[in-house]
Amino acid sequence: MSHAAEQTSHQGASTGPGTSTAGTALGAALAGPLVSTQWLADHLGAEGLVVLDASVVPAPGPDGRPVYGTGRVRHEEARIPGAGFADLLDAFSDPDGAHPFTRPSAQAFEAAATAAGIGPDTTVVVYDGAVGQWAARLWWLLRSFGHDRVAVLDGGSVAWTAEQRPVESGVAPVPVPAAAPFAAEERDGFWSDRSHVESVLAGERPATLICGMPPRDFAARHIPGSISAPAVRLVDRATNTVLPQAQLREVFADVLASDDPVIAYCGAGIAAAADALALALLGRHDVTVYDGSLSEWVSDPAAPLASLAA
């Protein structure tokens, strides 16, 4: 590790929420749901800042479908200096839920957020080593539980390392406790459930259904009437950063053509959060995430499914 990395690592390791004034000022510096690598580099070590790696590592299972493993090993191999690890498989999900990545209870989320060093005045920057869908999931969870001072690192660790910014390795430092524990406040308008989707299909309520799964998975099966908006197509392949707004508008053209509220889903409510983040960048805040997504939907053999002809 370079001297610059060591210096930044020391600053990051000592990072913890400071006074309410410091946290508020830093949170006010967020320009929206995304921050650039330069923004984070400029603020690493600041009072009131917690940086979290939310990476999850997929691997092909016996049936060809992905099996998800913790990203903790990769986090310890190389991470942004001072970053903590956010375990989306366990701490920030309900491991006993009926479906993968079921959102946790308010009480469980409070405990996980507090253990990560997050308090009411903390500013949080979340990243991952993929196209941002895991970070977007934690961004969505934090906001749904009442915490607005949170942003996703544009480009994640892919962009950070490509720019040869400092990294550190080894066991991550124990998070510095927040001055006050995180207090979850469950907000309306963030989640949809199976009954909401069923009512849309029945014509009982208006909504646009969008699916964040990869195109091949969408072609194989999706909820009837859905629009494909793959999370993998929301980023520039060369930089891994989110597409400019003009290009995002092209991706979501069919969605933006309607004023109906949006229900985003995918396989397990992860890529759907990336769609929700992209739509927030476009000024659409009438989006909910179907938490159970296809994992729940297909558990009912009678649930309707559509596919695209080969």
Neighbours of 22 (CB within 10 A): 16
User: Are the C-beta atoms of residues 168 and 81 closer than 8 Å to each other?
Assistant: yes
Q: Which amino acid is at 162?
A: A
pLDDT tens track of the chain, all 310 residues?
Answer: 333 333 333 223 333 333 455 556 787 778 799 999 999 999 999 999 999 999 999 777 676 667 778 889 999 999 999 999 999 999 999 999 999 899 999 999 999 999 999 999 999 999 999 999 999 999 999 999 999 999 999 999 999 999 999 999 999 878 988 989 999 999 999 999 999 999 999 999 999 999 999 999 999 999 999 999 999 999 999 999 999 999 999 999 999 999 999 999 999 999 999 999 999 999 999 999 999 999 999 999 999 999 997 5
Domains and CATH numbers, the chain: 3-162 (3.40.250.10), 191-297 (3.40.250.10)
User: Are the C-beta atoms of residues 284 and 143 closer than 8 Å to each other?
Assistant: no
Q: Strand 150-153 and strand 66-70: pairing?
A: unpaired
pTM for the structure as a whole: 0.90
Q: Which amino acid is at 156?
A: G
Distance CA 162, CA 157 (A): 8
208-211: strand order across its sheet: 191-192, 287-290, 262-265, 208-211, 227-228
